[in-house]
Amino acid sequence: MSKLEKFLRGRFAAALVAVLVGFVVAAVVLAAAGYNPIGSFAALFQGALGKPKYIANVIIKATPILLTGVGVAFAFQTGLFNIGAEGQYIFATILSTIVGVKLNLPAVIQVPLVVCSGVLGGAALGAFIGFLKARFGIHEVITSIMTNWIMLYLNNFVVSTDTFHKANSTAALPINPSSYTMILPNWKKSEAGKAFLSNIPWLREVLLKTDANFGFIIAIAVAVFAGYLLSRTKLGYELRAVGYNRDAARFSGINVDRSIVLCMLISGSFCGLAGALNITGISPHTITTLAAQEGYGFNGLSVAFIAGCSTVGCIPASLLFAGLIYGGMTVQQVMGAPSDIINIMIGTIVFFIALPGVTPLLADMVAKRRKSAEEVRVNKDGTPLPEKEV
Amino acid sequence: MLNSLVLLVGITLMYSTPLIFGAIGGVVSERSGVTNIGIEGMMVIGAVAAASASYFTGNPWLAFLIAGLCSGLVALLHAVASVTFAADQTVSGVAINLLAPGLALFACRRFFDGAAMSPIAPKLPKIFGDSWMAGTVWSNLNVNVTTVIALLLTIATWFVLYRTKWGLRVRAVGEHPAAADTLGIDVYKVRYICVILSGVFAGFGGASMTIAIISQFTQTAISGHGFIAMAAVIFGKWTPFGAYGACLLFGATQALTVLLGGGVAPIPSQILAMLPYAMTIIVLILFVGKSVAPKADGVPYVKGSR
């Protein structure tokens, strides 16, 4: 098997082809609607990668969807469809905000407390969904969808209460600054910090003009940890066994009900972490009234599927996704083309990820062509094939 | 009391109609063994197609059919992926849910000078005409014609699924495609038809929102209705009347929310708004219990494999 062939049979090639097709389809739609595709894509790349500030923002935007993506991918690998990532995310933002507003302790204690409350919230909601499935046999998709909406209204309720409402706004009170997880929030605004940063323009831009925070580093660690948990530990083995064949798993002595609850609990805690880090790391550091689902959970689904449900694969997938969404806004500003084109593009990418066998088909073609090329060379030389020589 | 009751029935029927179309579409697709997470996206396409077509042609009936056609085409994508290419149906459905709203808004902005909503378009008639009992509480019972169509569609789907040769084939394909194949049933054809039909019905559902309940397409016209419909399919144990009942129950709790929200009960509106969703979970825990999907639901069929 040639290197090219091996590459084409891999998962990365499938994703690459899907992305290419996504761009082609978007180009066709743009051209059909009378916009210049080349100019639009130039604007897209400019908007996502043009300045250090933009790149930082892409990473910041990738953080929550990386974590919800890992949550969804984790559950999917164990046979559960966590479409409730959205609700778990929202619940975490609510709890983190409540704790962050009510408590004001030194950062060393405050940050872990605020983050943990969000993680616990997501985990609890996930476990609740898992429990309903294990105990009553209620499909996780129904309870997930219902809890997504319940959490949306709970969010709006908390924002509206006297205790948390910020006057003359649609937001709740922001959390106390001791809970912030931005990189060096105080130093970068101090005189010494400003003086130091003035020598390094790109760092100055990233630190002072964006909410650069520790979230993405934590998210990467979580993605790697989740992959390790699934593929290298006894627990992960049990969870996957339940996903492959519930009856066989039960027969081999695995407590299936416990596995389902545990899996949703872990998945929910990842989604919860996404919410918590968004509250501690990004302004306005609070929850606001929601008219519709924000999409962190649903985008997590896309990220997980672009990554082929590999938790580590979610890292590049989330960056791609965030880059497209963030850069897409520039497409609208520069070219006037509706930024909805990005959703069409992402939808196409996910659609082609779903189609197995496109890149293996290419691999077959490569293999075939190589064989025929070898034959042609032999014939051109005029020497007969070894078999015929005998 | 009577007034409240009439109002309750009227609002229940109004809220549940788009859900019923979506849910019946889901039943048809899933009974043939193809999971359809993409109902939401297909409803959005139907919604924008209906509003645009009604605005440009002035004929809401034609627009209703066009909505079905457009969503059917989107469903064809899902069918190609999940039947021909044996793709993961969940992933393909999620892709449809990303693609379709993007496409819908893109088209809407293109048609209407960059606006994310369509102008007011002609609506489908109400069953007793527009002026029947106007101004009285009884006018709430003068429901949209789509409400009746939804009921007829449910009955027709039940009849076809359980009382005709064709329906038996669909159910056989959903339970055990290999067995159906050995009896000479074309599994691929049956699944193609069912998935496309589910798209057509979902399109009607979208249309019944934008040219019957409201009279324009907006970005939030369809917000989660497809997912609720999908939940109703599972809630109704994959049967047409079960799904219909689940949608009615959901509509009724929505109506209750509206009635209670009128200052009757001292409950914050946000808490009231949770009622339909919480109620669904509670009803499932108390009464419905385990739901078992068609055996081959979500499993691609590859000829010759065992």
Chain B contact present for A62, CB below 8 A: no
Q: Which of A148, A301, A336 is nearest residue B94 as measured by Cβ atoms?
A: A301
| Residue pLDDT, tens place only, A161-195 | 999 999 889 999 999 999 898 888 778 778 888 88
Contact between chains at B284 and A355 (C-beta distance less than 8 A): no
Touching check for A75 and chain B: CB below 8 Å? no
Is the preceding peptide bond at B101 cis, omega within 30 degrees of 0?
A: no
Task: Spell out the domains of chain A, with CATH numbers in brackets.
Answer: 58-327 (1.10.3470)
Distance CA B174, CA A172 (A): 49
Interface test with B, best of A145, A325, A339 (most B CBs within 10 A): A145
CB proximity list for B220: less than 8 A, separation 6 or greater: A291, A292
pLDDT at A226: 96
Q: Do B96 and A347 touch (CB under 8 A)?
A: yes
Q: Which two tokens stand for residue A38?
A: 């080349």
* Cβ-contact B200, B68 below 8 angstroms: yes
Chain A residues lying within 8 Å of B77, measured CB to CB: 351
Residues of chain A with Cβ-Cβ distance to B223 below 8 Å are: 292-293
What is the Cα–Cα distance from A70 to A274, expressed in whole angstroms? 10
Contacts of residue A160 in chain B, CB cutoff 8 Å? 268, 270
| pLDDT on residue A4 | 76
List the single residue in A149, A351, A357 with the smallest CB-CB distance to B99: A351
C-beta of residue B191 within 8 angstroms of C-beta of residue B32: yes
Cβ contact A324:A19 at 8 Å: no
Whether A153 sits inside 8 A of B86 (CB atoms) is no
A12: its two tokens = 């990365």
**What's the token pair of residue B119?**
């102008």
Distances (CA, A) of A161 to A94, A122, A158, B270: 12, 22, 5, 11
- State whether B271 and A157 contact (CB < 8 Å): yes
Q: Which residues of B touch A146 (CB under 8 A)?
A: 231, 277-278, 280-281
DSSP A43-76: HHHHHHHSSHHHHHHHHHHHHHHHHHHHHHHHHH
> Which of chain A's residues have a Cβ under 8 Å away from the Cβ of B282?
none
**Cβ contact, residue pair B278, A146, below 8 Å:** yes
Q: Identify the burial level of B15 via C-beta atoms within 10 angstroms of its C-beta, where 0-12 means exposed, 13-18 middle and 19 or more buried.
A: buried
pLDDT at B279: 87
Residue A380: the pLDDT is 52
- A residues 204-243 closer than 8 Å to B (CB): none
Question: Which residue intervals of A245-385 are DSSP H helices?
Answer: 246-251, 256-281, 296-306, 314-335, 340-354, 358-381
Q: Which of B101, B228, B234 sits opposite A343 (nearest CB)?
A: B101
For residue A167, what are its two tokens?
A: 């006057």
Residues (pLDDT < 50) of chain A are 387-390
Q: Which of residues 249-308 of A touch B (CB under 8 A)?
A: 291-293, 298, 301-302, 305
A40 interface with B at CB cutoff 8 Å? no
The number of residues in chain A equals: 390
Q: Do A348 and B281 touch (CB under 8 A)?
A: no
Q: Do A293 and B224 touch (CB under 8 A)?
A: yes
Domains observed in chain B = 2-288 (1.10.3470)
Residues of chain A found within 8 Å of residue B295, distances taken between Cβ atoms: none
| Residue tagged 């020589």 (tokens) | A389
Give me the half-sphere count of Cα atoms (radius 13 Å) on the Cβ side of residue A95: 27
- Phi/psi of residue A171, each to 5°? -115, 165
Nearest chain A residue to B233 by CA distance is A142
Burial of A178: CB neighbours in 10 Å, binned 0-12, 13-18, 19+: middle
From the list B90, B292, B134, B270, the residue with the least C-alpha distance to A301 is: B90
Note whether A136 contacts B87, CB cutoff 8 Å.
no
Whether the CB of A338 is below 8 Å from some CB of chain B: the reply is: yes
Interface contact A390, partner B, CB < 8 A = no
Q: What is the pLDDT of residue A390?
A: 40
ipTM (interface pTM): 0.89
Q: Inter-axis angle of helices B2-31 and B187-208, to 10 degrees?
A: 150
Is the CB of B235 less than 8 angstroms away from the CB of A132? no
Residues of B in contact with A348 (CB under 8 A): 95, 99
Residue A243 contacts by C-beta under 8 Å, 6 or more apart in sequence? A77, A78, A79, A80
Blockwise average pLDDT, block size 10, chain B, 306 residues: 86 95 97 94 96 96 97 96 88 91 91 89 86 76 92 97 95 94 94 97 97 92 90 91 95 88 76 89 78 82 76
Q: Which residues in chain B touch residue A291, judged by CB atoms under 8 angstroms apart?
A: 220
Q: Which residues of B touch A359 (CB under 8 A)?
A: none
- The reply to whether A137 touches chain B by the CB within 8 Å rule is yes
Q: How far is B74 from chain A (nearest CA, A)?
A: 12
Q: Which of A160, A298, A338 sits opposite B270 (nearest CB)?
A: A160
Mutation pick from B90, B98, B110, B283 vs chain A, by most beta carbons of A within 10 Å, is B98
Across the interface, whether the CB atoms of B95 and A357 are under 8 A apart is answered no
SS3 letters across chain B: CHHHHHHHHHHHHHHHHHHHHHHHHHHHHHHCCCCCCCHHHHHHHHHHHHHHHHHHHCCHHHHHHHHHHHHHHHHHHHHHHHHHCCCCHHHHHHHHHHHHHHHHHHHHHHHCCCCCCCCCCCCCCECCCCCCCCCCHHHHHCCEHHHHHHHHHHHHHHHHHHHCHHHHHHHHHHHCHHHHHHCCCCHHHHHHHHHHHHHHHHHHHHHHHHHHHCCCCCCCCCCCHHHHHHHHHHHCCCCHHHHHHHHHHHHHHHHHHHHHCCCCCCCCHHHHHHHHHHHHHHHHHHHHCCCCCCCCCCCCCCCCCC
Q: CA nearest A344 in B: which residue?
A: B99
**Chain B environment of A138 (Cβ under 8 Å):** 281, 284-285, 288-291
Q: What is the CA radius of gyration of chain B?
A: 20
Structure tokens at A118: 């969000």
Q: To 10 degrees, what angle do helices A107-136 and A256-281 make?
A: 150
Cβ within 8 Å, pair B278-A150: yes
pLDDT of residue A389: 42
